[in-house]
Structure 1
Amino acid sequence: MGIKRKLLKTTMRLRKILVFIIMLSMAFPCTGKVFATVQPTLVIAASPNVTLPSGGTVTLSASAILSGGDASAPPTGSLLFTLTGPDGFSYTQTNAVSENGIYTASITLLTTGPIVGTYTWAAYYGGDANNAAAAGQGHTLVSSAMPTLAVSANPTSVMIGSSSQVLGASANLASGYYPTGTLTFNLLAPGGATVDTEIVTVNGNGTYTTPTGFTLPTTEPIAGIYQWVVSYSGDPNNIPVSSRSDCSVTVPQQADLSITNTVNNATPNVGDTITITVTLTNNGPDSATGVVITDLLPAGL
């Protein structure tokens, strides 16, 4: 009898517990809903590709559009921008996040050292209690500057025996991005042989000249077209470029002239007619032009 009573009491207790659970489930029905963080999206737009300009600076920027965050609990936290580029370049910027929206970052590149190459923007939203993390990337290509080079021979023409016997040149380097490196001046004689080479250090856009120039030889000078060929070496941010200019060197004409006078009657009488012959001879080696002969007669004739 004692065991039966205990079993009966236990059964009654279990029934009460079951009734309580049923009543509790009716008061708070289970909807099957699972609470989870919202997954926002992050889209990055990097600045367009750029060619290095002549002077000035280059600024790279990026915008990150954070959208799709929890409407009832807008995203908070932080957005980390990271920019990596050539030669170990790295830059970071952190923006505070307070809602869905557009967030930006930018940096101005240096004017020294190699900066040409591909830059990659990476943005990372760390998420919060209601919004999951998100990330995105964008790229910008920075291309080399394309400098120009204009060469002028100085003088552009010279005659052997004149006061100016030195051939020089100037070169104007323009449109480079803070160019460095060297300019090499090569002077080619008629026939193509190099007779002079001069090297100048480049420090920015500007006009550069031959330090000494080439002195024409005083013996057996070579007449013809001399050509200055100037080459810019380029550097990590500027492409090489070359140009040329001519100088015409002429040798003056050399003519050996002699003149003789002859008369057909060396002892004429008054009233006689005589013939005087003037003979001009050119012994060369060159032709003579613009020659004027003046033969003065004695007084009374």
Structure 2
Amino acid sequence: MNDAMRCLGLIVLLLVAGPAWSQTIVASVEPLAKLLRSLYGPEVEVVTLLQANQNPHQLALSPRQVMQVRDADLLVWVGAGVEAPLAPLVARRDRVSVALLELANVERREGGHADHGHGHDDHDHHDENGAHHNANLDPHLWLSIKNMQLLAEAVASVMPEGLQQGQPGLWRQQAELTLGQLREQLGPYASTDWLSYHQPWGYFSAVVGLAEPLQVSQQLDAGPGSRRFVALAQEIRDRKLHCMIVEPEARAAMLHRLCPECKAVALDPLGRDQPSLNYLPWLNTLADGFQRCLQAGP
């Protein structure tokens, strides 16, 4: 009987000691989750919607993911212009959602150029749900520290409960410090040429001062024709290019055929290979990878 009473007492103690308040934030992609984990304490659970084995360019949500979107206390996503499958689910939510694309002064890269406003071009259209799409929009907005600073402020304003002490101010200061360090680290390689299958790194390379890469294809699912392949191989030789950044969805074998002498560094613009890192430490690993690739020698 004494053992039973002690067991019951332990259960009651655990229940009393457990968190009296908890919330769940669902982030559509891992880099957004990395930021949120930097801001909130342990009583706020941050869940990444996109799983590591899912193709972000052809996203199909499972019933469980649909429920996660529906039930999240806060949903943080890039926006309908990038994540069209999420748009109708978000529209049916009765709780708060924050879309990075909808924030004032967000930096958009369209057609290889940065746009700090909300202007649209001739390639804009809307789908049957009314969601705005731009065929030229670079969807990797999270690779801009400035964009993520805007997101940190927006999220903290709609859900201040559960923030760690001093947030988001402390994170914003750390972000400015990190940005300066990244620019100093990669500054010596500002004019060094590099190769990429397509260009998911525009926000990152622009803010740290790297050159635009020699780009194999505008789209992941469309490789170069034979004539384009020959021209690319010749350009690689002419420019004495020695670095290629290989993302998970890139056609690595084709890159190696184009530049067999290139140093290949695998990096993921979605951070799926670094689930334990928060946002700023993850950016440091990206910078280390670029430096390793761009520097001369083995």
Q: Would the TM-score normalized by the shorter structure come out above 0.5? A: no
Q: TM-score, normalised by structure 1?
A: 0.19
Q: Greater share of helix residues, 1 or 2?
A: 2
Q: Greater share of strand residues, 1 or 2?
A: 1
Which structure has the bigger radius of gyration?
1
Q: TM-score, normalised by structure 2?
A: 0.19
